[in-house]
Structure 1
C-alpha cells in the first residue's frame, strides 16, 4: 500500500523532532519512521510511505509541485492538509485556493486515491492575538475550512475536524510556537486518522501510541527554536503579512466603532460563495458557519 502526504510544515512534522529531522503525524500513520512499514510475519500490511510536504508550502505549491510527484508515486492513500500558510499571506485569494485544491483532490481521486483531509484552527486563535488582528485571520481560516469541507464531501475523503476550541485550548497537544502540534499532538492526529481509516476498512496495522517514545523538548530547546527558526518566521511575516494585517485591523476597528462589523463578515461570505459556486454549481455546498464538531468527534464529514 502506497501512502503519500502533501502539505506544509504541519504534515512535514514540525513539532515532532527525531534524530536528524522531523517525523510528524503522517509518518507515524504510515509506519512510524517515514520509511517502509509493516509486512512482518504477523500479517501486518506493508505500507510504503513518502512525505512530499514542505514547510512553508502554500496551496499553490501543493498544486504545482507536490501533486505531480504524488501522481507519479502512484499513491493508494494521500493526505492533503494545507491552507494555513495561505491565510498568512498578503495576497490571500480564496477563489484561487479553492480552484487549486479542487485540482489536487480531483486529480488524485481520478487516479483511484483515497484522500485524507482536515480542517484546521485559525492562527489568530492559536497565537492569542488581539481581536482586531485575530478576526481577519479567523475569517480567512473559516473560508479555507469551508472549501475543505465542500471538497471533502465532493471527493468522499476521510475528513478530520481539528478546528474545535477544545483542541486549540489543550496545550499538551501543541509545541512552543503554538502553531504546530507537539509530539503528543502529532500522535493524536495520527491515531484519529487511523481510526477513521479503520472505519473505511483500511488496515494500516496497529494504531500509533498516544504517548511519545522520546522525551518532550526541554523549555530551553523550545526557546532556542523560537529564537532561531521562530524569529525568521516572524521577520518573513513582517515583510509580507504585517502591512496587510494592520490594514485589516484598522478596518476592524473602524467598523466596530460604527457598529457595522457585520459588513466584513458579509464580504468574506460573499467571496467564499463565489469561490464555491465557481467549482460546484447547483450542489448546495456549506457556508462558513458550522465548521464541525472538532478533533474529539468521530471525524466524519457533515
Structure 2
C-alpha cells in the first residue's frame, strides 16, 4: 500500500514534453499519471513532485533528497544523470557513487524506491553516439538496484521508446504517449492493477532521405542550437522554476486532476 509518494529528478520526472496548461509548470507527465492511479485506490494518498528540468545529478541529490526524507515517504521514484551524460566530460563512476549513497539513505528511511535505466538511443544518429555512456550508467544503476533492493524500470529494454512518435519535437523529452508508456511500466513494476493502455500507433511511416534531412535541419534550428546557446551561457531551462508539487498533498478528486480519466 502506498500512501505517500515523492518523485525526484529532472525534466523526465517533472513531465516535460507532456504539455498541459492546467497542470503546475504547464506539464503533466508519467509521475502525475501514476499518482492519479494510486490516489484512486487509496483515499488518504498524498503526492509530491520535486523534479525540475535541466538539473544535473549532483543538483538533484543536493536539493531534493533532504526535503524528500522530511516528508517521510513510503515510495520514492528517482531518476537523474541524463543531463550529465550529455556534457562533454563526465565521470560516470563518481556520478553513480554519489547516486548510490542517496539511494542508500532513501532505502534506510524505510521507503520503497523505484530507479530507472536510461533509454537506448540506437536509432537516433545523435544519441547513438552516447550509447556507450548510457550503457555504462545503466549497468551501474542495475548494480545499485540489486545491492539496495530497489525496484527498477528498465527503459533501455523498452523497445517501443525507440519510436520517435513517442517523443516531443525536441527529441530530448517524451510526449504524452511516451509518458503514458513510462506510467504503465512504473505501475507494472509496483504490481498495481490499472487500466492504462498504450497508444495504438500502427506501422512507422517511411521517410525519404530528403524528408529526414529536412526534419534534422529543422530540429537543429529550433531545438539543438538554442540548447547549445543555453549551455554556453551557463543557463538551464529550469533556472526560474520551482518544483511543481513541492509539498505532499492529495491528488485526484479535489485537485487539478479531478476531471481526468486514469485512462490517459
In the alignment, which residue of structure 1 is the partner of 2:15?
13
2:155 aligned with 1:162: yes
Preserved contact between residue 176 and residue 226 of structure 1 (Cα < 8 Å): no
Q: Pick one of 208, 226, 248 that aligns with 1:232.
A: 226
Mapped to 2, the partners of 1:75 and 1:49 lie a distance apart of 9
Find the residue that maps to 2:114 and give its secondary structure: strand
Find the residue that maps to 1:10 and give its secondary structure: helix
1:230-251 CA distance string (max 9 Å, x none): 65323234678xxxxxxxxxxx
Query: Gaps (5+ residues) in structure 2?
Result: 201-217, 235-264
In the alignment, which residue of structure 2 is the partner of 1:282?
none
1:175-219 CA distance string (max 9 Å, x none): 111221110110111011111111xxxx5x74445459xxxxxxx
Mapped to 2, the partners of 1:166 and 1:134 lie a distance apart of 14
Q: How does 1:125-274 map to 2 (within 5 A)?
A: 125=122, 127-129=124-126, 134-135=128-129, 137-164=130-157, 166-198=159-191, 203=192, 206-211=194-199, 231-237=225-231
Find the residue that maps to 1:61 and give its secondary structure: helix
Find the residue that maps to 1:31 and give its secondary structure: helix
1:257-298 CA distance string (max 9 Å, x none): xxxxxxxxxxxxxxxxxxxxxxxxxxxxxxxxxxxxxxxxxx
Find the residue that maps to 2:156 and give its secondary structure: coil
- Compared with structure 1, are the counterparts of its residues 226 and 23 closer, same or farther at alpha carbon in structure 2 (3 Å cutoff)? farther
Mapped to 1, the partners of 2:158 and 2:72 lie a distance apart of 36
Q: Which has the higher contact order (CA 8 A, sep 6+)?
A: 2
Mapped to 2, the partners of 1:188 and 1:234 lie a distance apart of 29
How far apart are residue 90 of structure 1 and its match? 3.0
Mapped to 2, the partners of 1:239 and 1:161 lie a distance apart of 34
In the alignment, which residue of structure 2 is the partner of 1:114?
112
Mapped to 2, the partners of 1:106 and 1:126 lie a distance apart of 34
In the alignment, which residue of structure 2 is the partner of 1:64?
62
- Compared with structure 1, are the counterparts of its residues 183 and 7 closer, same or farther at alpha carbon in structure 2 (3 Å cutoff)? same
Query: Gaps (5+ residues) in structure 1?
Result: 213-223, 241-302
Find the residue that maps to 1:18 and give its secondary structure: coil
Mapped to 2, the partners of 1:176 and 1:16 lie a distance apart of 11
Find the residue that maps to 2:36 and give its secondary structure: coil
Mapped to 1, the partners of 2:119 and 2:194 lie a distance apart of 28
Q: How does 1:18-97 map to 2 (within 5 A)?
A: 18-20=20-22, 21-31=26-36, 37-38=39-40, 44-97=42-95
- Compared with structure 1, are the counterparts of its residues 13 and 154 closer, same or farther at alpha carbon in structure 2 (3 Å cutoff)? same
Preserved contact between residue 120 and residue 162 of structure 2 (Cα < 8 Å): no
In the alignment, which residue of structure 2 is the partner of 1:290?
none
Cα RMSD, aligned residues only: 2.9
Mapped to 1, the partners of 2:95 and 2:220 lie a distance apart of 29
- Compared with structure 1, are the counterparts of its residues 126 and 30 closer, same or farther at alpha carbon in structure 2 (3 Å cutoff)? farther
- Compared with structure 1, are the counterparts of its residues 116 and 19 closer, same or farther at alpha carbon in structure 2 (3 Å cutoff)? same
How far apart are residue 171 of structure 1 and its match? 2.3
